[in-house]
Structure 1
Amino acid sequence: MKYPDIFTIEDERFTRLILPNTQLEHLWSGGRWCEGPVYIPAGRYLLFSDIPNDRMLRFDETDQRVSVFRQPARFSNGNTLDREGRLISCEHHSRSVTRTEHDGSLTVLADRFEGKRFNSPNDVVVKSDGSIWFTDPSYGIDSDYEGGLRDAEMDCHVYRLGVDGTLTRVADDFDKPNGLAFSPDEQWLYIADTGATHHVDGPHHIRRFRVQDDHTLKDGEIFAECDYGLFDGFRIDTHGNLWSSSGGGVHCYAPDATLLGRIHVPEAIANVTFGGQQRNRLFICATTSLYAIYLNVRGCSVLTRNNP
């Protein structure tokens, strides 16, 4: 069977995840660095960040229009939903993780650890027990372009915010922790390290950790190395396959770390998410644009993952 040229098949298993009659859709252009997509199923729309323009945008799936959802947006980056359908956001300028309540008001969930300000929370995921896990690299304080030039008060780490408000550091051996996602059974947490942005020989990989019953992380072996650009944000489908951004398209990895295939996109990609009524539409935030493609697989979310 012939597949569109946008696909590169590295492993035969990839053919079961893609569709032979689909195309990459260009939905919108006009951003500077598009990031943090999250799909809102109740409204059939996608929210995403345009960090340098300090705004969050809204793509309406029913009429294909893009409008401004929030501006200023405190240079927001990663977004996700909690179990109550509320928006959880990482904000560079406020150096905090916030929650948008159902009435539209903002609640600051965390902005410091042990009395020190975060660098610039980057990406975030919610576990089925309601806890919030997020990364804190320095990209938002490295310049005024994606936040505000400021001094770091601590190194770059990964954190967990429990439903009781307890904040713990779960990983402290990263250079620039970035995107993160849980496996469908939540036994594994994948975390990208994009330290190569600051060091020629810096990390450009995704690590995989085993999640312990006490919420700590174990092992942390390298799961995949990026061969073009950097892994940034990524998502997991219901079979445990990982779909990651990179400098040369979307890379899909099996749970055994085999590269299954690639989706070619004409811009460097920052992040992806699954959406649509069947969660089988992959939305792709590239440098200036928003793309989408239908797949033969559904994305995993906090509402579909198994309870631990």
Structure 2
Amino acid sequence: MFGDIEGAGFEVLDERFERSFVGHATVERLWTGGRWLEGPAWFAAGRYLLFSDIPNDRIMRYDDTNGVVSIFRAPSDNANGNTVDPQGRLVTCEHRTRRVTRTEHDGSITVIADRFEGKRLNSPNDVVVRSDGTIWFSDPSYGIATDYEGDRAEQEIEGCHVYRTDPATGEVVCVVATMAKPNGLAFSPDETMLYVSDTGATHEKDGPRHIRKFAVEGSSLRELGVFATCTAGLFDGFRVDTAGRVWAAAGDGIHCFDPDGTLIGKIRIPETVANLTFGGPKRNRLFITARQSLYAVFVVANPAAQP
């Protein structure tokens, strides 16, 4: 474990952010040595964190009891986003196989979704499981654009969308078809709203670099407009806490938004941040996956229902 890190720390932009952290809390670098880290998922029963190292084709495991980092799965089919379902099972987005899978308690892997209307998915990116067991995931084309984070291939589906699937029936439904490159996603605490980031600016000049908000109406969504626009790089993965604040990965760290969309503060990280999740015994520690390193910091916040 490393000590205090130059260029890292809390930046208050609105007094509301001061209630989100303890003044002497510091950002810690827990591990470094990856190429592009993503998909942190906390497993409370074992007190460990899983996270993806996409180009290195592996899922890593951080043991919170002793600080040891080891390889959980390699190869991982260029795994990206991960989450935990209500039964404590790992749900993973895989670039190379262009599918969403679930790792069962016995270690076997079940395919949750790999096609929509008979066509192969692009490269599932991030995923969240609702309390009713349905799985919602984004499907941009980053994993098939080059050989760096997957295998280069042509898109079979026109466009990049957000999908909902019910593992009980296997049905895959497109719920958002109006985004350039849908990326991170998370539900509000009461699951009546879904937030989705669009990183279309990676491929379009002046393209989207924002988070959009949708009302959940049964198994479908209703557009509510842009929640926040990124002012430093692009939003990637993010989480929502019990107070409805959105903690979003960005180019200079984590941006924290009040539920009304106001940017109230930042946690500065000296690497581009890809994703984050709440973990630790009290679920008050942010685990942060950046370009090459895993960071952590204690906050005065706890996650909404989803892992």
The TM-score range, normalised by the shorter chain, is over 0.9
Task: Give the aligned partner of residue 278 of structure 1.
Answer: 282
Which TM-score applies when normalising by structure 1? 0.95
- Matched to 2:137, the amino acid is F
Q: Distance in 1 between matches of 2:278 and 2:259?
A: 18
Q: Which of 265, 270, 278 pairs up with 2:269?
A: 265
Report whether the alignment pairs 1:201 with 2:203.
no
Which TM-score applies when normalising by structure 2? 0.96
- Matched to 2:301, the amino acid is V
Task: Give the aligned partner of residue 185 of structure 2.
Answer: 180
Task: Give the aligned partner of residue 105 of structure 1.
Answer: 108
Q: Distance in 1 between matches of 2:241 and 2:8?
A: 23
Task: Give the aligned partner of residue 296 of structure 2.
Answer: 292
Count residues in correspondence: 299
Q: Distance in 2 between matches of 1:35 and 1:151?
A: 24
Q: Which runs of 5+ in 1 are unaligned?
A: 304-308
Alignment of 1:297-308 (within 5 A): 297-302=301-306
**Sequence identity percentage:** 58
How far residue 240 of structure 1 moved from its aligned partner, in angstroms, is 0.7
Query: Cα deviations across residues 93-126 of structure 1 (Å, max 9, x unaligned)?
Result: 0000000000001111110000000000000000
How far residue 200 of structure 1 moved from its aligned partner, in angstroms, is 1.9
Question: Over aligned residue pairs, what C-alpha RMSD do you find?
Answer: 1.1
Q: Which of 7, 12, 15 pairs up with 1:9?
A: 12
How far residue 203 of structure 1 moved from its aligned partner, in angstroms, is 0.4
SS of match in other structure, 1:8: strand
How far residue 164 of structure 1 moved from its aligned partner, in angstroms, is 2.6
Query: Cα deviations across residues 67-97 of structure 1 (Å, max 9, x unaligned)?
Result: 0000000000000011100000000000000
How far residue 297 of structure 1 moved from its aligned partner, in angstroms, is 1.1
Contact 2:8–2:27, Cα closer than 8 Å, also in 1: no
Task: Give the aligned partner of residue 243 of structure 1.
Answer: 247
Q: Distance in 2 between matches of 1:271 and 1:103?
A: 28
Task: Give the aligned partner of residue 257 of structure 2.
Answer: 253
How far residue 301 of structure 1 moved from its aligned partner, in angstroms, is 3.0
- Matched to 2:177, the amino acid is D
Q: Distance in 2 between matches of 1:200 and 1:268?
A: 20
Task: Give the aligned partner of residue 55 of structure 2.
Answer: 52
How far residue 215 of structure 1 moved from its aligned partner, in angstroms, is 1.5
How far residue 220 of structure 1 moved from its aligned partner, in angstroms, is 3.5
Q: Distance in 1 between matches of 2:223 and 2:170?
A: 26
Q: Distance in 1 between matches of 2:79 and 2:72?
A: 12
Q: Which of 134, 137, 140 pairs up with 1:137?
A: 140
Report whether the alignment pairs 1:67 with 2:70.
yes
How far residue 165 of structure 1 moved from its aligned partner, in angstroms, is 2.0
Q: Which runs of 5+ in 2 are unaligned?
A: 1-6
Q: Distance in 2 between matches of 1:161 and 1:73?
A: 22
Q: Distance in 2 between matches of 1:118 and 1:219?
A: 23
How far residue 5 of structure 1 moved from its aligned partner, in angstroms, is 7.0
- Matched to 2:197, the amino acid is A
Q: Distance in 2 between matches of 1:165 and 1:119?
A: 18
Task: Give the aligned partner of residue 210 of structure 1.
Answer: 215
Query: Cα deviations across residues 265-305 of structure 1 (Å, max 9, x unaligned)?
Result: 000000000000010000000000000000011112337xx
